[in-house]
Amino acid sequence: SVGEIFIGPATYRLTQRLFDFEAVPPLTLKGKEAPLEAYRVVGVKAAPESVRGIEGLRAPLVGRDEELGEIRDALADLQHGRGSVVAIMGEAGLGKSRWEKQVWAKAV
């Protein structure tokens, strides 16, 4: 229909936290051999979820070997009964939460 927006599964996975969708029957499109899975955009979510950690937007941490080494040392000390405090500080948007998640993933 005129004015409607349809998307495929990859775009759905990347945007499902921001928009409401309705699954529609597979679409038959010119130039495609088989019908394609599709979703119709219904609208913007009344309460959009956080976009942090959206699948597809993750990238590896680069150039942080020294800092990661310090974290590893602190974790090794902890395993030997020597506690310490590790502070991750920086401006908003620099990836502190992402760093924390990566550190916990390696620690557990």
Tens digit of pLDDT for each residue in 20-71?
Answer: 999 999 999 999 999 999 999 999 988 877 666 555 556 666 777 788 888 8
**Torsional sign, CA 83, 61, 95, 102:** negative
Residue with tokens 């990836």: 95
* Sequence-separated (6 or more) residues with CB below 8 Å from residue 18: 44, 45, 48, 49, 51
Q: What is the pLDDT of residue 103?
A: 73
Specify the 3-state DSSP secondary structure of 52.
coil
Q: What is the pLDDT of residue 81?
A: 87
Residue with tokens 């020597």: 82
User: What residue spans define the domains of the chain?
Assistant: 1-57, 65-107
